[in-house]
Amino acid sequence: MLIAIPDLLDASDVARVRAVIDAAEWIDGNVTSGPQSALAKRNDQLPEDSAAAREAGGLILDALGRSPLFVAAALPLKVFPPLFNRYAGGQDFGLHVDNAVRIRRGSDFRIRSDLSATLFLEDPAGYDGGELVVETQFGPQTVKLPAGHMVLYPASSLHRVTPVTRGTRTASFFWIQSMVRDDGARALLFDLDQGVQAVATAQGQGDPTTVRLTGVYHNLLRRWADA
């Protein structure tokens, strides 16, 4: 399941995040790579333990908590603190799969990476290339979203970032451990949630059909969730 989360950050929030990270010192992006990814990855990254990464990441975590669409799609149990990268001058990230378990450097915080997230922090007109390409059962899906928009996709997916040939692609990326491990079950719950919301809008929260469908949703979540 690949889901776009529009306007996770509004223009003022994007400007706040960019002001923090653009003033910081960046390093080689391979500091967080596994052995296979290191062969394919060419970008710059903000050190994950830097004050700038913590400040900007906190703004993003607050925005995630305010997003009903993110909560419905991800059913988050844990969110890895957001990281930040940028690509320029032909840099890219070849085809790879994300590590199954992510451990925060210097701590015992760890998550199972069920979902990967990319939050775009530069408008598409500001750079050429830099598309996120995710391999799905329906073929490659290409994603290049406005600044402040985010995409969620299974961390188990093969994916890549195409070379940036003009300008700079700046983004935040992180991983989510969902209460529902199985992507298929999570997709069914998301579709059901959206249907329940549509019925509730049309007929009211107290309508018997809305109440019954809400019960089905929560009973399926009860069956599948680890919390």
Task: Measure the CA–CA gap between 41 and 48, rounded to whole angstroms.
Answer: 17
State the alpha helices, DSSP H only, in the chain.
11-22, 35-40, 51-65, 68-74, 183-203, 208-224
Per-residue confidence at 69, pLDDT binned at 50, 70, 90? very high
User: Could you read off the pLDDT of 211-223 as tens digits, one per residue?
Assistant: 999 999 999 999 9
> pLDDT tens, 92-130?
999 999 999 999 988 899 999 999 999 999 999 999 999
Domains 3-178 and 183-224 share a fold: no
Interval 22-36 mean pLDDT: 77
Query: Strand pairing partners for 103?
Result: 110
- For domain 183-224, the CATH class is few secondary structures
Q: Which two tokens stand for residue 29?
A: 């992006």
pLDDT surpassing 70 at residue 6: yes
Question: Whose CA is closest to 221, among 213, 56, 26, 100?
Answer: 213
Q: Counting beta carbons within 10 angstroms of the beta carbon of residue 99, is it exposed (0 to 12), middle (13 to 18) or buried (19 or more)?
A: middle
Query: Cβ of 226: how many Cβ atoms within 10 Å?
Result: 9
Burial code (b: 16+ CB inside 10 Å, e: under 16) for 120-134 equals bbbeeeebebbbbbb
Query: What confidence score (pLDDT) does residue 1 get?
Result: 87
**Taking the domains of the chain in order of start, what are their residue ranges?**
3-178, 183-224
Q: Count how many Cα atoms sit within 13 Å of the Cα of residue 102 in the half-sphere of its side chain.
A: 24
Decide if 161 contacts 167 (C-beta within 8 A). no
What Rg value do the Cα atoms of the chain yield, rounded?
Answer: 18
Residue from 92, 214, 94 nearest 164 by CA: 92
pLDDT at 31: 65
169 is in an annotated binding site: yes
| CATH superfamily assigned to domain 3-178 | q2cbj1_9rhob like domain (2.60.120.620)
If phi over 0 gives left and psi between -120 and 50 gives alpha, with beta otherwise, what is residue 172? beta
* Reported pTM: 0.93
Asked whether residue 183 is marked as a ligand-binding residue, the answer is no
- For residue 47, the model assigns a pLDDT of 94
pLDDT level of residue 188 (50, 70, 90 thresholds): very high
Q: What is the average pLDDT value for the chain, to the nearest integer?
A: 95
In tens, the pLDDT along 197-215 reads 999 999 999 999 999 999 9
DSSP-derived secondary structure letter, 104: -
CA distances from 57 to 18, 79, 174, 225 (A): 11, 11, 10, 27
